[in-house]
Amino acid sequence: MTMPERKALRIVFPGDVVGVAEEFIAGDGLEERDGFIYATRPGLLEVNMYTRTAYVLFHKPVKIPRKGDRVLARITNVERNLIYVKVFALESKKGVLPLDLSGYLIPPPGRRLRKEDIIRAKVVSPSTPLILELSEPDLGIIFTICPNCLSELRLSGSRLVCRNCGHTERRKIAKNNWFKRVRRS
Amino acid sequence: MRRRDGRAPDQLRPMKFEVGILKNADGSAYVEMGLTKVIAAVYGPKEPHPRHILMPDRAVLRARYHMAPFSVTEERKSPAPSRREIELSKVIKEALSAAVLLKQFPRTVIDVYIEVLNAYGSTRVASINAASLALADAGIPMRDLVAAVSVGKMGGELILDVDDYEDKYGEADVPIAMMPGRGEITLLQMDGLLTPEEFIRALELAKKGIMEVYELQRKALREKYEAIWREYGF
Amino acid sequence: MVSFKDFIIPRVKKDYIISLLEKGRRVDGRGFEEYRKMEIKVGVIDNADGSAQVKLGDTFVVVGIKSSIGEPYPDEPNKGVFIVNAEFPPVASPSFEPGPPDENAIELARVVDRGIRESNFIELEKLVIVPGSKVRLIWVDIYVLNHDGNLIDASSYAAVAALLSTKLPKVVVGDDGRLEKLEEREPLPLRGVPIHVTHAKINGKILVDPTLEEESIMEARLTMAVTEDGKICAVQKGGIGSFTMDEVKAVMENTLKLAPTIRERILGAVKGGQV
């Protein structure tokens, strides 16, 4: 019989002593002090039997993203080497969680970005201001407007087109985006 | 000695603690200590507005203690914050900040909003009890919960959990907050007159009351979290 | 800061709400003319002269009544005074900031005030103690604890329930002309119960009792208050969109249809709370 990897122990509260430092490594929601491990938030205490790491599962996401999380952001300013963004949501398995944080985007090589583009980005550095990047296929622009006439752009194949002024462009568009498709007649 | 409401000198009023009652807040709690009724909500950690208050190495905790216009025994209170409310906001903020692991969220703020709905004595300690639960409910990492009570003196005798009447006609009032698991005091104020020996006894009486409050706080969290984890099949 | 509409309701959500409405459905499963589940409780604030809390879905409002004695308005020397004030304390929503009431809180207070005042719900003439100089002041304080839409209706039901549960200390004028407050209490003189009903218009569809999500994408909102004998006593259109004549008629008819049931609910809660 194999041992389960994760073992749920019990419900703990801030300040509870959950063990001694020799037993486990203190993970999320735990703090080691003077050789003891204390809980720092209420939740379910679990141990990963392979890594010997203990942590407290919390029932809702805390509203600071972690490294690797997908966030939605609006570009607020573009300078030569720096793109300023306002992060307004965190995408998680439990849905879209509203956020309000500033951050910077590492400019993707050869890709133009504009003020007011709405992007899905990956968190590289989670303490604020967040640092974000766009390198993977699910990342990129999810919505934007026409730079000429400010109308809504639509997706036609891999190009964005403006039905108002005829402007077209190619951008790094995220896989799961908010663009309406142009129907070919 | 029996008190005006029939309590023994070292007896708390009937208490009610509820966690997670406001949907919009990241964490919330409702506390009744006798007729004193308080609601607390936590928003954050989030980016501060205005930005200049942020700290490069940790979160800033802000607290606002506010009384509803209809909460007072006297005539309607103006909703504009009084000097008393501003001072209490400050000491409550400091009492809670001692317990929160602020370094985990640098350059953010955590807002704690407290509304006194019905004031009948010991509103600041009820506020701390509610705010501490709301912080835990928001998942903000803490060294320990913060639990608080007040000790007074009436008819020459020390009394636990001062109500409105005892506050008005008593000889002293000592509000105290602690991280009970660690024995650290995070709020301590006093007005009135006590001998040094009475003051020490007041601290001891407060400690006893705080341990009872701490158990009620943990019970309220346990009730909520056991229900949640039962849903997840634990 | 990104506006509320832009960041709380991502565009996808808006499209989702509208696509459901096109199929005649709402996100929470209600029909267009259906109200949310409502819970009313009176006597929740011990220090107030009257109080009530209303939970309308996740919207949560507390109203407390405080009375005092003061001077009448110079143009109405033989009437008591009542004042409605609304606070949006920051506990209720991430978009509420500490500070004095903003335009939304002031509009809310004034719309609730108008429905109550114009229906003559409170018999202000009976609140005079010394004609021309001493009358009762009735403060109605609306306190929003959680905002999930339709604050006007939730606040007005809480205000009405709180007023119905109010007991004021009796006041007598002594031989020396001085006023004396007695321990004995008496109810407020009230007649008829005004009911506010709010509809929102989203993508051309009219729906009653909007949630915050629905409000954040609505074109416009229409509140009507009706008296117990079926007259209209206050109206407020809000939002930057518009209504057609037919839409206004439809809103009026649905308001008149819903009001008696809501009135019964409030009266039942007040009665239940006072046994």
Contact C143 B40 (CB under 8 A): no
Interface test with B, best of C44, C47, C93 (most B CBs within 10 A): C47
Chains that touch C (3 or more CB pairs under 8 A): A, B
The domain that holds B21 is classified in CATH as: 3.30.230.70
Helices C151-164, C245-274: crossing angle, 10 deg rounding: 40
Which range among A123-132, B117-126, B137-146, C184-193 shows the weakest confidence by mean pLDDT?
A123-132
Biggest distance spanned by C-alpha atoms of chain C: 72
Residue A150 confidence (pLDDT): 81
* Shortest CA distance from C83: residue in chain B: B76
Architecture of domain C4-274: 2-Layer Sandwich (3.30)
Higher pLDDT, C81 or B51: C81
Element (H, E) at B166: helix B164-169
Q: Is residue B1 part of a domain?
A: no
Q: Considering only CB atoms, which residues of chain C are within 8 Å of chain A? A: 1-2, 6-8, 10-13, 94
Contact B142 A99 (CB under 8 A): no
Q: What does the alpha-carbon distance between residue A180 and residue A154 come to, in Å, rounded to a whole number?
A: 5
Identify the three-state secondary structure at position A75.
Answer: strand
C7 pLDDT higher than 50:
no
Reported confidence tier of residue C166, pLDDT bands at 50, 70, 90: very high
Quote the minimal CA–CA distance from A178 to chain C in Å.
Answer: 7
DSSP C93-123: -TT--SSS--HHHHHHHHHHHHHHHHTT-B-
pLDDT one-digit tens code per residue, C120-151: 999 999 999 999 999 999 999 999 999 999 99
Element (H, E) at C144: strand C134-146
Contact residues, chain B, for A15 at CB < 8 Å: 142-145, 179-182
A64 pLDDT higher than 90:
no
Q: How many domains does chain B have?
A: 1
C104–B contact, CB cutoff 8 A:
no
Contact C146 B119 (CB under 8 A): no
B111–A contact, CB cutoff 8 A:
no
**Phi-psi category of residue B183: left, alpha or beta, with phi > 0 → left and psi -120 to 50 → alpha:** left
**Domain range list for chain C:** 4-274
Reported confidence tier of residue C24, pLDDT bands at 50, 70, 90: very high
Chains that touch B (3 or more CB pairs under 8 A): A, C
Q: How large is the ipTM? A: 0.87
Quote the minimal CA–CA distance from B99 to chain C in Å.
Answer: 21
Q: Name the CATH code of domain A70-143 (choices 2.60.40.10, 2.40.50.140, 3.60.15.10, 3.40.50.150).
A: 2.40.50.140
Residue B233 confidence (pLDDT): 67
pLDDT one-digit tens code per residue, C195-214: 999 999 999 999 999 999 89
Q: What does the alpha-carbon distance between residue B171 and residue B100 come to, in Å, rounded to a whole number?
A: 34
Reported confidence tier of residue C5, pLDDT bands at 50, 70, 90: very low
Reported confidence tier of residue C64, pLDDT bands at 50, 70, 90: very high
Q: Which residues in chain B land under pLDDT 70?
A: 232-234
Contact C1 A74 (CB under 8 A): no
Q: What's chain C's average pLDDT?
A: 92
| Rg value, chain A, Cα | 22
Contact A72 C2 (CB under 8 A): no
Contact C100 B76 (CB under 8 A): no
Residue B231 confidence (pLDDT): 73
**Cβ pairs bridging A and B (under 8 Å):** 82
Residue C10 confidence (pLDDT): 53
Sequence-separated (6 or more) residues with CB below 8 Å from residue A87? A65, A71, A72, A73, A99, A100, A101, A102, A103, A130, A132
Quote the minimal CA–CA distance from B18 to chain C in Å.
Answer: 15
* Long-range contacts of residues C178-181, Cβ cutoff 8 Å, at least 24 apart: C179/C69, C179/C129, C179/C130, C179/C134
CB of A11 within 8 A of CB of A44? yes
What would the mean pLDDT of C180-204 be, rounded to a whole number? Answer: 95
* Shortest CA distance from C49: residue in chain B: B70
Contact C47 B76 (CB under 8 A): no
pLDDT one-digit tens code per residue, B157-182: 999 999 999 999 999 999 999 999 99
Contact C7 A98 (CB under 8 A): yes
What percent of chain C is modeled with pLDDT above 90?
A: 83
Point out which residues pair with A119 in neighbouring strands.
Answer: A73, A141
The domain of B60 spans 15-231
Contact residues, chain B, for C66 at CB < 8 Å: 69-70, 75-76
Residue C141 confidence (pLDDT): 98
**Cβ pairs bridging A and C (under 8 Å):** 24
Strand A95-105 and strand A130-133: pairing?
Answer: parallel
Which range among A144-148, C87-91, C240-244 shows the weakest confidence by mean pLDDT?
A144-148
* Shortest CA distance from A32: residue in chain B: B143
Quote the minimal CA–CA distance from C93 to chain B in Å.
Answer: 6
Residue B55 confidence (pLDDT): 84
Contact B136 A42 (CB under 8 A): yes
Reported confidence tier of residue C4, pLDDT bands at 50, 70, 90: very low
Q: Taken in order A124, A130, A134, A139, is the CA torsion positive or negative? A: positive
* Shortest CA distance from C149: residue in chain B: B24
Point out which residues pair with B158 in neighbouring strands.
Answer: B153
Q: What does the alpha-carbon distance between residue A16 and residue A41 come to, in Å, rounded to a whole number?
A: 9
Residue A135 confidence (pLDDT): 86
Quote the minimal CA–CA distance from C56 to chain A in Å.
Answer: 23
Contact B76 C68 (CB under 8 A): yes
Contact residues, chain A, for B182 at CB < 8 Å: 15
B34–A contact, CB cutoff 8 A:
no
Q: What does the alpha-carbon distance between residue C116 and residue C160 come to, in Å, rounded to a whole number?
A: 8
Contact residues, chain C, for B49 at CB < 8 Å: 1
Number of H helices, E strands in chain C: 6, 12
Quote the minimal CA–CA distance from C65 to chain B in Å.
Answer: 7
E strands, B126-211, are 147-154, 157-160, 172-179, 184-188, 191-192
Point out which residues pair with C138 in neighbouring strands.
Answer: C67, C82
Q: What does the alpha-carbon distance between residue C119 and residue C225 come to, in Å, rounded to a whole number?
A: 9
What would the mean pLDDT of C154-178 be, rounded to a whole number? Answer: 93
Point out which residues pair with A55 in neighbouring strands.
Answer: A46
Report the CATH number of the A6-57 domain: 2.40.50.100
Contact A13 B101 (CB under 8 A): no
Q: What does the alpha-carbon distance between residue B19 and residue B145 come to, in Å, rounded to a whole number?
A: 13
Q: What does the alpha-carbon distance between residue C160 and residue C263 come to, in Å, rounded to a whole number?
A: 10
Contact residues, chain B, for C1 at CB < 8 Å: 49
Strand A43-48 and strand A53-57: pairing?
Answer: antiparallel
Reported confidence tier of residue A2, pLDDT bands at 50, 70, 90: low
Higher pLDDT, B12 or A109: B12
What would the mean pLDDT of A138-158 be, rounded to a whole number? Answer: 87
C9 pLDDT higher than 60:
no
Reported confidence tier of residue C14, pLDDT bands at 50, 70, 90: confident
Contact B69 C60 (CB under 8 A): no
Q: Is residue B195 part of a domain?
A: yes
Q: In what order do the strands lie in the sheet with C205-208?
A: C205-208, C195-202, C220-226, C232-238
Contact residues, chain B, for C159 at CB < 8 Å: none
